[in-house]
Amino acid sequence: MSAWRLTSIASPRSARLKAPVMSLYQVQKLIYELNRSPEHRQRFVADRAAVLATYELTAEELQAIEQPDIGLMYVMGVNGQLLMHYAALRGFEWDAYIKAMRDGLAQHGAVRTGLYVAAGSLS
């Protein structure tokens, strides 16, 4: 569950002692399953709340997914290879998707965990 921790490359002891980011995994699993299954996407479009209820998500995650707040999802540490498809599914064109991530950094602060902690230097 700590697959996206940048720190796991170096694995300092302080990082190893932190609690795993379980619900971020659930957010990513939702997007993975949406990407893989047209039926899952249809269910999601028809009754989003029912689909989301099957994942263990925090209130902040639920709100970010529902809205959608692509920038906040990026800041939470959702992997971009998943997030870019969720953004497209929710109608974001390429430039709007990139802008949403930059806005997310401005609004919510640095990426909290994962590979992108050090990214965003252009924004």
Q: Smallest gap, in angstroms, from Cβ of residue 62 to another protein?
A: 20
Q: Is 102 in the site for another protein (CB under 8 A)?
A: yes
Rule CB under 8 A: is residue 40 a binding residue for another protein?
Answer: no
Contact between residue 116 and residue 74 where contact means Cβ atoms under 8 Å apart = yes
Query: Which position among 43, 52, 58, 80 is part of the footprint of another protein (CB under 8 A)?
Result: 80
Give whichever of 12 and 49 is closer to another protein, judged by the CB atom.
12
Smaller CB distance to another protein: residue 43 or 102? Answer: 102
**Region binding another protein by CB under 8 A among candidate stretches 27-35, 42-50, 51-59, 61-69:** 27-35
